[in-house]
Chain A
Amino acid sequence: MANYSTNEFKGGLKVMLDGDPCSIVDNEFVKPGKGQAFNRVKLRNLKTGRVWERTFRSGESLESADVMDRDMEYLYNDGEFFHFMEPETFEQHQADAKAVGDAAKWLKEQDICVVTLYNGAPLAVTPPNHVILEITDTDPGVRGDTAQGGTKPATLSTGAVVKVPLFLEIGETIKVDTRTAEYLGRAKED
């Protein structure tokens, strides 16, 4: 495995820290004019999602982590595992609930997700930024209230609950931002 020195640390670089794969978020070079040089580094632990702040002596190095982000199609959930497929090689991977985490509530079959592989096995799943999902449950729509901007909760086909405008009905499809769980609009029929 390659080693990276602090001066090569940059956002997105995958390294091993305390036995866990991490992604570097930020690397700040800190040096008092007459003092020693340090690097103050923010890293996201890819297993837990927790962000660590750690200070290194400039010139220290970390081992690279065998972590790759791959675009994969979500196939199905068999009750225990979530199955994904690489669209070009048709190679399939199964991810457990821990790896999928919160992404589970946005996964719609055939959507393309980013699956993070660690030593070849799924470590994390990132849903598409925008997904189109059907409303499966919500209070009845209130007509003529489109300008008011009031909201109500709506349950979507994948189980996610988002706030939507009052006029929407069960059975409509909407576009949602998965990073913020924000309603973006009615999905265009085409």
Chain B
Amino acid sequence: MSECLWQPSAPLDNLRRRATLLADIRRFFSERQVLEMEVPILSRRATSDPHIDSITADCSGAPAFLATSPEFGLKRLLAAGMGDCYYLGKAFRNGEAGGRHNPEFTMLEWYRVGWDDHRLMIEVGEFLSWVLNISRVCSYSYRALFLKFLDIDPHRASLEELKAVVARVLELSFEPADRDECLDLLMSHHIEPNMDSSGERGITLVYDFPASQAALARVEHDELGAPVARRFEAYVAGMELANGYWELTDAAEQQRRFEADQKYRAEHGKPVNPYEERLVEGLASGMPACAGVALGVDRILMLACEAERIDEVIAFPIERA
């Protein structure tokens, strides 16, 4: 089985489909008066996200970082008054490689001024329905999803209760450290693969994540009084496609979360890089209320092409790049 590594790993028809998809995406936003923006892919600031690692480059003798998402740049443009805008281009995440991951990938991220997460979820559903030609859309709160699949309330269950559920459905090489690790395991190993088990392919939207997983979303109390992140995700065929927020616009809270992230990274032996303090300044100057979402374009293409692996839709994944 000698493969020619100079050749693309993806069938040419899938790459032609990519060209069509990129044109379709630009048309979708052009018709809705959302403007395409370019933001730095190479930056002096890195992500502070506890579970996402930047790739470090050397630029003019000093470290620079490849963007893990266009988020900081787009939000600074929003703070400057740009209005509805999007980015369609490359993003990079260190160490992420597998059937659904390549360290270099194509991301679509857009922002809607004056919208909240629920209004944006409707548009994400419309977008996915249109590009993937799927009409069935269902939405669940994070709690409802856990109750449906595991009969447990993810916001109220104790760590011991969550560990017991994990032990029931999974074999692990380690003891889960905290509630979030349990929830991540249950979501990624049990709930996601069973989402479309009924057979018909549909779009599943999940909202109101645990406050501990807020990232850059606002935190509010839900109807049962639990603090929840106004964050949502979209899935098709058990594959995570998009992650959206009703964006945090409080500069002091943003500063606090950056510092908490940096502390977590230091405590867990991960690289601690300069964070984007200019975003905090931008928020302080008066960021408009808005909602934003990031979406993995390669995965949409996988679904459109019925591909099993991401290297069937990327011409030259990292092994050939």
Contacts and interface: CB of A to CB of B under 8 A. Distances in A.
A139 interface: no
Nearest to A41: B173
Interface stretch (A48-56, A145-153, A162-170, A176-184): A48-56
Contacts of B213: 34-35
B188 interface: yes
A121 interface: no
Interface stretch (A24-32, A70-78, A123-131): A24-32
Interface size class of B (residues with CB under 8 A): 20 to 34
Nearest to B49: A34
B156 interface: no
Interface string A53-74: 1111110100000000000000
B215 interface: yes
B199 interface: no
B98 A57 contact: no
B172 A54 contact: yes
A38 B185 contact: yes
Contacts of A55: 170-173, 185, 189
B181 interface: yes
B63 interface: no
Given A31-B101, A32-B240, A34-B51, A56 B189 contact: no
Given A29-B97, A29-B99, A35 B187 contact: yes
9 contacts: A30-B188, A30-B189, A32-B188, A32-B240, A33-B294, A34-B243, A54-B171, A55-B189, A57-B174
Interface of B: 49, 51-52, 95-101, 170-174, 180-181, 184-185, 187-189, 213, 215, 233, 240, 243, 294
